[in-house]
């Protein structure tokens, strides 16, 4: 993993806690693990069998976990005639050198055509991208700024704020749905983007995540910047944020996934088709009418694609961010 630093900073100062957690310690430190140390010969055969068994179980689990996703891709790319005829991918027989082979049929765009004919999918996608990105930016800015303040400053009311946030963490968000709706209604924001965005603007989870990450930024770094005449906001922007980049990456993905998959609140607040996000819009297609299921699968496929791509880009940061709080207690 590349060291996330601004050019002015020595790499040593980056927040390495996350890096440490994700550097796959097991792969490199495998040789030192006790079960790898030489054993008596009698244990060798059993050991070998055990390893085979572990791989068999792992592969079985992987197949079970991936099968629905493979099926989803298959259903998405089949043409409308093949949808119900093939369990997975549609094939066609090919004769080559006297032998018959089954070859994959070319991808069909039937389902995508059906999808775009059935619902304004592009509009939903745009709404989702806009809402999710806005949520991430708002949450990232407010959470990291407040997390910085709670990590690196002593000020009056700090303990009270932390206590207040801890108290609300225990309460399920659904408790606030009714009064929030009333509030948004009073503000005249029902069925608007702001009405959708406002309740998710605050992320208590994000504050704790950033507070924890920024706590590990060395104080000397901040002092040095102050002596050089840096304002406090510049310290936040030019030192704290670049140094916490792994956490920023993790938070962005976690926050994006939360907004992307948000269902209950949009379902409550959005009434008109042109405001629908993907979860709400795609849900209008769900039903017993099986002739649309190809379109539905194409829509699902397109809907999960952005998250998968983002995850593959930010995988290491994501897993570190996810587990850092829990593992370190």
Partner 1 sequence: MTTTTLEHSAVEPSAQRASQWHRVQHRLAPYLFVSPFLILFVLFGAWPIIKSLVLSTYTTNGPKDAVYVGAKNFQFLLSDADFHVAVKNTAVFAFWSVVLQLPTALGLAILLSQPWVRGRALFRLAFFAPYLVGSVFVAVLFNVLFQPQYGLINTVLHFLLPSHFPLDYKWLEDASHVMPALVLAGLWLYVGLHMIYLLAAIQAVDKDLYEAAQVDGANTRQQFWAVTLPGIRPVAIFVLLTSTIGSFQLFDLPYILLNNGPGPNQSGLTIVMYLYNTGFVTGDLGYASAVGWTLALGVLLISLIQLRVTGAFKGENE
Nearer to partner 1 by Cβ, of 182 and 274: the residue is: 182
Structure tokens at 229: 């005449």
Structure tokens at 62: 């992987």
d(CA 249, CA 15): 13
CA of 66: how far to CAs of 32, 42, 60, 72, 208, in Å? 33, 37, 10, 10, 33
Q: Could you tell me the smallest distance in angstroms from the CB atom of residue 135 to partner 1?
A: 13
39: which residues sit within 8 A by CB, 6+ positions away?
Answer: 47
Buried b (16+ CB within 10 A) or exposed e, 206-218: bbbbbbbbbeebe
Q: Could you tell me the smallest distance in angstroms from the CB atom of residue 145 to partner 1?
A: 5
Structure tokens at 141: 């800015």
Nearer to partner 1 by Cβ, of 130 and 185: the residue is: 185
Provide the terminal-to-terminal Cα distance of the chain, rounded to the nearest Å: 24
Nearer to partner 1 by Cβ, of 7 and 34: the residue is: 34
Q: Could you tell me the smallest distance in angstroms from the CB atom of residue 103 to partner 1?
A: 22
Q: Are 254 and 314 in contact (CB under 8 A)?
A: no
Nearer to partner 1 by Cβ, of 11 and 325: the residue is: 325
Q: Could you tell me the smallest distance in angstroms from the CB atom of residue 12 to partner 1?
A: 22
Nearer to partner 1 by Cβ, of 101 and 182: the residue is: 182
d(CA 199, CA 177): 9
Q: Could you tell me the smallest distance in angstroms from the CB atom of residue 68 to partner 1?
A: 6
Q: Are 294 and 83 in contact (CB under 8 A)?
A: yes
Nearer to partner 1 by Cβ, of 273 and 290: the residue is: 290
Q: Could you tell me the smallest distance in angstroms from the CB atom of residue 67 to partner 1?
A: 7
């Amino acid at each position: 993993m590349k060291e996330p630093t601004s050019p002015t900073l020595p790499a040593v100062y980056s927040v390495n806690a996350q890096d440490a957690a994700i550097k796959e310690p097991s792969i490199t430190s495998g040789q030192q693990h006790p079960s790898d140390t030489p054993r008596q010969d009698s244990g060798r055969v059993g050991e070998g069998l055990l390893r085979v068994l572990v791989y068999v179980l792992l592969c079985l689990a992987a197949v079970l976990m991936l099968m629905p996703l493979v099926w989803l891709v298959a259903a998405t790319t089949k043409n409308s005639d093949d949808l119900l005829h093939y369990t997975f991918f549609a094939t066609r027989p090919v004769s080559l050198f006297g032998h018959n082979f089954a070859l994959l049929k070319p991808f069909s765009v039937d389902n995508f055509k059906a999808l775009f004919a059935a619902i304004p999918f592009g509009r939903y996608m745009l709404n989702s991208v806009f809402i999710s990105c806005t949520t991430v930016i708002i949450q990232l800015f407010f959470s990291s700024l407040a997390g910085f303040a709670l990590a690196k400053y002593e000020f009056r009311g700090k303990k009270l704020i932390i206590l207040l946030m801890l108290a609300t963490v225990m309460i399920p968000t659904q408790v606030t749905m009714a009064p929030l709706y009333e509030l948004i209604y009073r503000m005249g924001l029902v069925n608007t983007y702001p009405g959708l965005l406002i309740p998710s603007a605050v992320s208590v989870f994000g504050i704790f995540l950033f507070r924890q990450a920024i706590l590990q930024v060395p104080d000397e770094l901040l002092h040095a910047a102050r002596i050089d005449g840096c304002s406090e906001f510049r310290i936040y922007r030019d030192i704290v944020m670049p140094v916490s980049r792994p956490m920023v990456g993790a938070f962005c993905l976690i926050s994006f996934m939360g907004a992307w998959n948000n269902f209950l609140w949009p379902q409550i607040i959005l009434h008109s088709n042109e405001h629908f996000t993907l979860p709400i819009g795609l849900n209008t297609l769900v039903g017993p009418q099986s002739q649309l299921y190809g379109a539905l699968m194409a829509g699902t496929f397109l809907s999960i694609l952005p998250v998968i791509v983002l995850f593959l880009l930010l995988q290491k940061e994501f897993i570190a961010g996810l587990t850092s709080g829990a593992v370190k207690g």
